[in-house]
Amino acid sequence: MKETLKPGIKYEHKFLVSLSKTVPALYPESEEFAAMPEVFATGFLVGLLEWACIKAINPYIDWPKEQTVGTHIDVSHQAASPPGCEVTVAVELLVIDGRKLVFSVEAHDGVDLISKGRHERFVINKQKFDIKISEKAKLI
């Protein structure tokens, strides 16, 4: 982590919702999801919030040697967004506790506030992480 990684870093990310990011596309294997409305899926929304946090701090870490992984998410999904909506995500780094990073996150679809909450990420050394996961995979 670079010395410039400090609380207060803000980032805004825009994303156009496509049909491939709606509930039926989340798990195509699921008959239940396939029958649901074609609106921005909560699972994809969570990924978008994570993506914005990653983009916010990558200039402040030794990317790609250092990366971050999501460790906690506590967000609302309070309005449905159909394909064609442009979602704007605003994030702010609130707290740095060792390698733990805490963000406030918010998303708006141009009509409604669709999400608000907090997200935590943890800074990892990619090489060490990959070795650990490789060892775990051998146990399966």
- What whole-number distance in Å separates Cα of residue 96 and Cα of residue 75? 19
- State the pLDDT confidence band at 81, using cuts at 50, 70 and 90: very high
* Residue 78: C-alpha distances to residues 73, 107, 114, 116 (Å): 15, 10, 5, 9
β-bridge mates for residue 33, sequence order: none
- 42 flagged as catalytic: yes
Q: Of all residues in the chain, what percent carry a pLDDT higher than 90?
A: 99
- The mean pLDDT of the chain is 97
What is the average per-residue pLDDT within 47-76?
Answer: 98
Among candidate residues 13, 66, 77, 106, the one labeled active-site is 77
Catalytic site residue 4? no
The catalytically annotated residue of 50, 66, 106, 120 is: 50
Q: What is the pLDDT of residue 15?
A: 98
> Considering Cα of 29, then 76, then 118, then 50, what sign does the dihedral take?
positive
> HSE on the CB side for 119, CA within 13 Å?
29
**Residue 44 pLDDT level (bands cut at 50, 70, 90):** very high
88 labelled catalytic: no
Average pLDDT over residues 32-37: 97
Taking alpha carbons only, the member of 9, 15, 24 closest to residue 45 is 15
